[in-house]
């Protein structure tokens, strides 16, 4: 079941997610079983050492997870999530690709792969969504 009839309607709804919007995360595309988000990195996203903060990467992944899980079934909330940081981003932009691994009666499993614009694998996020 698809809950948003277009990527524009999903953008309009998720524009209310002020933390992600203020972090400047963008919803680029949305299908029945995939969500694509991106983030142009700036100094605002960096820690004291100059690296991208882990929370920024997590927020990008969590946003993609939220969009796709609610595309599959509205209303879905995160029940459990984990993230593995694979390597530090070196580029100027991050990309999140969320895919549905399983959609069951009461829960869904979403995998979000984060990469940078240089093709580096940055992180993998796995989330379990509970369908309300």
For position 124, what pLDDT does the model report? 98
CA distances 2 to 33, 43, 62, 85, 94, Å, are 9, 37, 19, 31, 26
pLDDT at 3: 87
Domains and CATH numbers, the chain: 7-131 (3.10.129.10)
| Local structure of 27: helix, strand or coil | strand
Structure confidence at residue 2 (pLDDT):
75
d(CA 29, CA 6): 9
Q: What does the pLDDT profile of the chain (132 residues) look like in tens digits?
A: 678 999 999 999 999 999 999 999 999 999 999 999 999 999 999 999 999 999 999 999 999 999 999 999 999 999 999 999 999 999 999 999 999 999 999 999 999 999 999 999 999 999 999 999
Phi, psi torsion values for 15, nearest 5 degrees: -65, -20
Reading the block at residue 29, the tokens are 């595309």
CB 18 within 8 A of CB 12: no
């Amino acid at each position: 079941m698809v809950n948003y009839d277009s990527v524009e309607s999903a953008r309009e709804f998720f524009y209310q997610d002020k933390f992600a919007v203020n972090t400047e995360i963008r919803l680029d595309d949305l299908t029945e079983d995939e969500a694509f988000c991106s983030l142009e990195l700036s100094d605002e996203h960096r820690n004291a050492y100059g690296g991208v903060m882990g929370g920024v990467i997590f927020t990008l992944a969590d946003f993609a997870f939220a969009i796709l899980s609610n595309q599959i079934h509205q209303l879905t909330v995160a029940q459990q999530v984990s993230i593995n940081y694979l390597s530090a981003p070196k580029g100027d932009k991050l990309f999140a690709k969320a895919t549905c691994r399983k959609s069951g009666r009461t829960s869904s499993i979403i995998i979000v792969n984060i990469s940078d614009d240089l093709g580096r694998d940055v992180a993998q996020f796995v989330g379990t969504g509970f369908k309300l």
